[in-house]
Amino acid sequence: DMVREYQVLESLQKAAYSKVPPPVHCCDNENIIGAPFFIMEKIDGLILRNRIPDGLKLSKEFFKQLSKNTIDGLLELHQLELEKSGLINLGKPEGYVERQVLGWSERYFKAKTDEIPEMEKVSEWLKKNMPREEAVGFIHNDYKYDNLVLEGSESPEILAVLDWEMATVGHPLMDLGTSLAYWCEAGDSDTLKMFNLTYPEGNLSRAEVIKYYGSKSPLSMDNMVFYYAFGLFKVGVIAQQIYKRYKMGFADDSRFAALIHAVRSCGKKAFNSIETQNI
């Protein structure tokens, strides 16, 4: 929804969020280019995908600072004022955790193609172990390195955060859990490493991310296994949905064939986290 994403950018600007690309114009007239669209200012900088670009050298110190800058940006977002900026009107925070758990579980079974017991076990566990505590903040829902525009290879300062189409008002730790699901480490499978460039030396570990976030947030980190398992489950469902479209012939990119392995990896990782109570 282009119009809604533009409203998100405008509201973030009103809330003085420092990492939002300035919105310029929104047009809902489909006769112009065939669909609604919006224009935002171009932000020049470095975007890191799932591998270091050829010819680019990034130091351990670069990744360590990038890790901290990334979490600082997420904390800033989660602690924004919601009422005066209008951000509160962009979501329904009441019952957010339950809606997300039930909604993503339903999406998984609708998109299911293969038997992956861990995904089903995680779905059931999430339904039975939803935290009671409520917290409200503005959340991105896809916050990871490849949605950040950095100053350059010498400076990991974040100039802008991109891709706000899934942003809403909800529980901040659900957002952190999704970011942690993408936050792969050196010992993780190659399948998971395709999600994010957080595995090179210097990056904070997932445990260090939680400790760093917790040191700057009033929220309790006691239930992070739930939020992490949910994040992995959600990422697995997204991969499953794309894989089903590929299997049905609606997407012809042969790379999508490997997504079923990502679903399995997410399920196993989430189930193991639940079983061991470790992240």
Percent of the chain with pLDDT over 90: 94
Domain count, the chain: 1
Q: What is the mean pLDDT of residues 185-206?
A: 96
Predicted confidence band of residue 111 (pLDDT cuts 50, 70, 90): very high
Q: How far apart are CA 172 and CA 65, in angstroms?
A: 22
Show the 3-state SS of the chain: CHHHHHHHHHHHHHCCCCCCCCEEEEECCCCCCCCCEEEECCCCCECCCCCCCCCCCCCHHHHHHHHHHHHHHHHHHHCCCCCCCCHHHHCCCCCHHHHHHHHHHHHHHHHCCCCCHHHHHHHHHHHHCCCCCCCCEEECCCCCHHHEEECCCCCCCEEEECCCCCCEEECHHHHHHHHHHHCCCCCCCHHHHCCCCCCCCCCCCHHHHHHHHHHCCCCCCCCHHHHHHHHHHHHHHHHHHHHHHHHCCCCCCHHHHHHHHHHHHHHHHHHHHHHHCCC
Contact 154, 45 (CB under 8 A): no
Does residue 183 belong to any structural domain of this protein? yes
Does residue 9 belong to any structural domain of this protein? no
Domain of residue 267 covers: 45-276
Predicted confidence band of residue 134 (pLDDT cuts 50, 70, 90): confident
Percent of the chain with pLDDT over 70: 100
Predicted confidence band of residue 118 (pLDDT cuts 50, 70, 90): very high
Residues 6+ apart with CB under 8 A from 86: 11, 14
Does residue 85 belong to any structural domain of this protein? yes
Does residue 12 belong to any structural domain of this protein? no
Q: How far apart are CA 103 and CA 238, in angstroms?
A: 12
Predicted confidence band of residue 28 (pLDDT cuts 50, 70, 90): very high
pTM: 0.95
Does residue 184 belong to any structural domain of this protein? yes
Does residue 136 belong to any structural domain of this protein? yes
Does residue 93 belong to any structural domain of this protein? yes
pLDDT tens for 49-102 read 989 988 999 999 999 999 999 999 999 999 999 998 899 999 999 999 999 999
- The CATH number of the domain holding residue 125 is 3.90.1200.10
Predicted confidence band of residue 179 (pLDDT cuts 50, 70, 90): very high
Residues 6+ apart with CB under 8 A from 34: none
Does residue 137 belong to any structural domain of this protein? yes
Predicted confidence band of residue 1 (pLDDT cuts 50, 70, 90): confident
Q: What is the pLDDT of residue 254?
A: 85
b/e string for 100-135 if b means 16 or more Cβ within 10 A? bbeebbeebeebeeeebebbbebbebbeeeeeeeeb
